[in-house]
Structure 1
Amino acid sequence: MHYEVIVVGMGAFGAATLYQLAQRGVRVAGVDRFAPPHDQGSSHGDTRITRQAIGEGAAYVPLALNAHRIWRDLEAHSGVPLLEACGMLMLSDSRVATRGHGTADFAGETAAMARRFGIEHALLDAAAIAQRFPQFTGYGPHAVGYYEPGAGYVRPERAIEVQLKLARQAGAELFTNTQVTAIESYAGGVRVRTATGVLTADRVISCAGMWSAGLLGGPFPQLLKVCRQKLYWFELDEPERFATNAPVYILLDGGADTSSCYGFPPVRGENAIKIATEQYADICDPENLDRHITQADAEAMYEQHVAGRLAGVSRRLLKSKVCTYTITPDFNFLIDEHPELPGVTVVSACSGHGFKHSAAVGEALAMRYCGDSRAADLSAFSLSNAAGWATR
Structure 2
Amino acid sequence: MDYEVIIIGAGSMGMAAGYYLAKQGKRVLLVDKYSPPHTFGSHHGETRIIRHAYGEGESYVEMALRSQQLWKELEDISGEDIFLPTGVINVGESDSPFIQNVLKSSKSYKLNVEKLTADEINQRWSGFNVPDEYIGCYELDSGVLMSENCIRAFKKLALEHGAEIVSDANITAISIENNSVTVKANQQNYTAKSLILTAGAGTRKLLPQIGLELPLQELRTTFSWFETGENLDQYHSTNFPAFSFLSPIGTYYGFPSIHGAGVKIGRHDSGTPRDMDKPIDPFGTSDADRADVSNFAKQYMPDLGEHKVGKACTYTNTPDEDFIIDKHPEHDHVVIACGFSGHGFKFSSAVGEILSQLVTGNRESMLNIRQFSIKRLKNC
User: Normalising TM by the smaller chain, what interval?
Assistant: over 0.9
For the residue of structure 1 that corresponds to 2:338, the secondary structure is coil
Aligned to 1:168: 159
- Asked if residue 253 in structure 1 is aligned to residue 250 in structure 2, the reply is no
Given the alignment, which residue of 109, 113, 126 partners 2:101? 109
Aligned to 2:17: 17
Give the letter aligned to residue 102 of structure 2.
Answer: T
Q: Cα distance, 1:44 vs. partner? A: 0.8
Given the alignment, which residue of 165, 168, 177 partners 1:186? 177
CA distance in 1, matches of 2:352, 2:66: 11
- Asked if residue 324 in structure 1 is aligned to residue 318 in structure 2, the reply is no
Give the letter aligned to residue 199 of structure 1.
Answer: Y
Write the mapping of 1:290-309 to structure 2, written as runs, cut at 5 A: 290-294=280-284, 296-309=287-300
Write the mapping of 1:42-191 to structure 2, written as runs, cut at 5 A: 42-94=42-94, 97=96, 105-137=97-129, 139-191=130-182
Q: Cα distance, 1:200 vs. partner? A: 0.9
Aligned to 1:101: none
Q: Cα distance, 1:221 vs. partner? A: 4.6
Given the alignment, which residue of 253, 256, 268 partners 1:265? 256
Q: Are the aligned partners of 2:70 and 2:349 in contact in 1 as well (CA < 8 Å)?
A: yes
Q: What is the TM-score of this pair, normalised by structure 2?
A: 0.93
Q: Cα distance, 1:328 vs. partner? A: 0.6
337-346 or 355-364: bigger deviation: 337-346
The two structures, once aligned, show a CA RMSD in angstroms of 1.9
- Asked if residue 233 in structure 1 is aligned to residue 225 in structure 2, the reply is yes
Given the alignment, which residue of 289, 292, 301 partners 1:310? 301
Q: Cα distance, 1:335 vs. partner? A: 1.0
Q: Are the aligned partners of 1:6 and 1:204 in contact in 2 as well (CA < 8 Å)?
A: yes
Residues 250-306 of structure 1: per-residue CA shift (max 9 Å, x gap): 11013xxx8111110011232x11110124562112221334112834541244211
Give the letter aligned to residue 93 of structure 1.
Answer: E
CA distance in 2, matches of 1:299, 1:375: 42
Task: List alignment gaps of at least 5 residues for structure 2.
Answer: none
**Segments of 4+ in structure 1 off by > 6 A?**
none
Q: Cα distance, 1:363 vs. partner? A: 1.0
Aligned to 1:354: 344
Residues 137-190 of structure 1: per-residue CA shift (max 9 Å, x gap): 0x3221211110111111111101110110010011111111222322124411
Give the letter aligned to residue 13 of structure 2.
Answer: F
Q: Aligned pair in 2 of structure 1 residues 228, 219: CA closer, same or farther (>3 Å)?
A: farther
Q: Cα distance, 1:219 vs. partner? A: 7.8
Give percent identity, aligned residues only: 33
CA distance in 2, matches of 1:219, 1:385: 18
Q: What is the TM-score of this pair, normalised by structure 1?
A: 0.91
Q: Are the aligned partners of 1:182 and 1:194 in contact in 2 as well (CA < 8 Å)?
A: yes
Q: Are the aligned partners of 1:13 and 1:348 in contact in 2 as well (CA < 8 Å)?
A: no
288-297 or 228-237: bigger deviation: 288-297
CA distance in 1, matches of 2:271, 2:224: 20
Write the mapping of 1:340-351 to structure 2, written as runs, cut at 5 A: 340=330, 343-351=333-341
Q: Aligned pair in 2 of structure 1 residues 248, 369: CA closer, same or farther (>3 Å)?
A: same
- Asked if residue 282 in structure 1 is aligned to residue 272 in structure 2, the reply is yes
Q: Are the aligned partners of 1:82 and 1:159 in contact in 2 as well (CA < 8 Å)?
A: yes
Q: Are the aligned partners of 1:365 and 1:375 in contact in 2 as well (CA < 8 Å)?
A: no
Q: Are the aligned partners of 1:184 and 1:341 in contact in 2 as well (CA < 8 Å)?
A: no
For the residue of structure 1 that corresponds to 2:5, the secondary structure is strand
For the residue of structure 2 that corresponds to 1:325, the secondary structure is strand
Aligned to 1:209: 200
CA distance in 1, matches of 2:71, 2:34: 24
For the residue of structure 2 that corresponds to 1:111, the secondary structure is helix
Q: Cα distance, 1:56 vs. partner? A: 1.9
- Asked if residue 26 in structure 1 is aligned to residue 26 in structure 2, the reply is yes
Give the letter aligned to residue 170 of structure 1.
Answer: H
Q: Aligned pair in 2 of structure 1 residues 5, 302: CA closer, same or farther (>3 Å)?
A: closer
Task: List alignment gaps of at least 5 residues for structure 1.
Answer: 98-104
CA distance in 2, matches of 1:109, 1:178: 42
Q: Are the aligned partners of 1:50 and 1:356 in contact in 2 as well (CA < 8 Å)?
A: yes
CA distance in 2, matches of 1:157, 1:119: 27
Q: Aligned pair in 2 of structure 1 residues 278, 251: CA closer, same or farther (>3 Å)?
A: same
For the residue of structure 2 that corresponds to 1:10, the secondary structure is coil
Aligned to 1:102: none
